[in-house]
A = this chain, B = another copy of it.
Amino acid sequence: MIQPQSVGIVTPQTAHFDTPLALRSGGTLPSYDLVYETYGELNAERSNAVLVCHALSGSHHVAGRYADQPDSTGWWDNLVGPGKPLDTRKFFVIGVNNLGGCYGSTGPLSINPATGKPWGADFPFVTVEDWVDTQARLADRLGIERMAAVVGGSLGGMQALSWTLQYPERIGHAAVIASAPKLTAQNIAFNEVARQAILSDPEFHGGNFYEHGVVPARGLKLARMIGHITYLSDDSMGEKFGRSLRHGKAVYSYDVEFEIESYLRYQGDKFAGYFDANTYLLTTKALDYYDPAFAHGGKLTTALAGASADFLVVSFTTDWRFSPARSREIVYALLHNRRNVSYAEIDCAAGHDSFLLDEPHYHAVLTAWFDRIKV
Chain A contacts to B: CB under 8 angstroms = 24-26, 124-125, 182-186, 188-190, 192-193, 195-197, 199-200, 202, 218, 221-222, 225-226, 228-229, 232, 234, 237-238, 240-243, 250, 252, 254, 257-258, 260-261, 264-265, 268, 281, 285, 288-289, 291, 320
What is the oligomeric copy number? 2
Q: Which residues of B contact A221 (CB under 8 A)?
A: 196, 200
Question: Can you list 8 residue pairs at the A/B interface with Cβ under 8 Å?
Answer: A184-B243, A185-B234, A188-B261, A192-B265, A193-B264, A197-B197, A202-B202, A254-B281
- Shortest CB-to-CB span from A244 to chain B, Å, is 9
Q: Which residues of B contact A285 (CB under 8 A)?
A: 252, 254
| Contact present for A125 and B252 (CB under 8 Å) | yes
| Contact present for A243 and B185 (CB under 8 Å) | yes
Q: Nearest residue in B to A201 (C-beta to C-beta)?
A: B218
- Shortest CB-to-CB span from A27 to chain B, Å, is 9
Having A186-B232, A192-B258, A200-B222, one finds 15 other A-B pairs with CB under 8 Å, namely A26-B252, A125-B252, A183-B243, A184-B234, A184-B243, A186-B238, A188-B258, A189-B228, A193-B222, A193-B226, A195-B254, A196-B268, A197-B222, A199-B254, A252-B285
| Contact present for A189 and B222 (CB under 8 Å) | no
Q: Which residues of B contact A268 (CB under 8 A)?
A: 196
- The residue among A197, A238, A242, A257 with the most chain B CB atoms within 10 A of its own CB is A197
- Answer whether A258 and B288 are a contact pair too, CB < 8 Å, given A184-B238, A237-B184, A237-B185: yes
Bound-complex Cα distance A291 to B226 (A)? 24
| Contact present for A185 and B260 (CB under 8 Å) | yes
Q: Which residues of B contact A232 (CB under 8 A)?
A: 186
- The residue among A183, A281, A289 with the most chain B CB atoms within 10 A of its own CB is A289
Bound-complex Cα distance A263 to B199 (A)? 17
| Contact present for A196 and B225 (CB under 8 Å) | yes
Q: Which residues of B contact A254 (CB under 8 A)?
A: 195, 199, 281, 285
Q: Which residues of B contact A226 (CB under 8 A)?
A: 193, 226
Bound-complex Cα distance A198 to B26 (A)? 37
Bound-complex Cα distance A28 to B20 (A)? 70
